[in-house]
A and B are shown apart, each in its own frame.
Chain A
């Protein structure tokens, strides 16, 4: 069992829909991340939150909107997505963003399909 929980596991949505991905961790970690992963490729960083504040936005299109309501939760709001946005979306956490030796803990992801 992973310590980072992501819901839903699968999501199919149309290009005009609005949906949200959710991520939760109870390890007391203060850094949380969103990644996008295409099949057989490495994860691509999208956003980093440090102490509930957005630290990095990797030039992600505005149709993706992150939110960190508290230190345990991370959401990714989706609106007007394109077919090329179909991918596995991974959430991860680490103790903090500082400390280069800290590994990241990943959830099992949400597999998103855009019709």
Chain B
């Protein structure tokens, strides 16, 4: 079965510093990986995805993620954090790589960016 793990409940970073939110995955077959962000009182918003190709994936709001097959990781990064990036971040994997119905979410990581 597919799964993702987010080892950090919370990440704190100062505004202007680079940020990393960690995610590791366990899949059978090719991974289909996603990052979503949830701001307070809002639904989840899609940030970026890895399907195939370049290991560095660029997404919305200046975020990018690095796919590392040997370490089974898909960490979310941003070169310079903004206070407005403070939110709940979910890593996710698509269950059934042949085209399934389910998205399996990690437990979430709360990002705090301090001014």
Contact = CB atoms under 8 A, between A and B. Distances in A.
Given A101-B51, A103-B49, A106-B45, A50 B101 contact: yes
A100 B100 contact: yes
Chain B binding surface SS class: loop
Nearest to B108: A42
B99 A107 contact: no
Interface residues of A, number: 28
Contacts of A90: 43-44
Contacts, number: 64
Is the interface on chain B under 10, 10 to 19, 20 to 34, or 35 or more residues?
20 to 34
A40 B110 contact: yes
Contacts of B94: 100-101
9 contacts: A4-B43, A45-B102, A92-B43, A92-B44, A100-B96, A100-B98, A101-B49, A101-B51, A107-B43
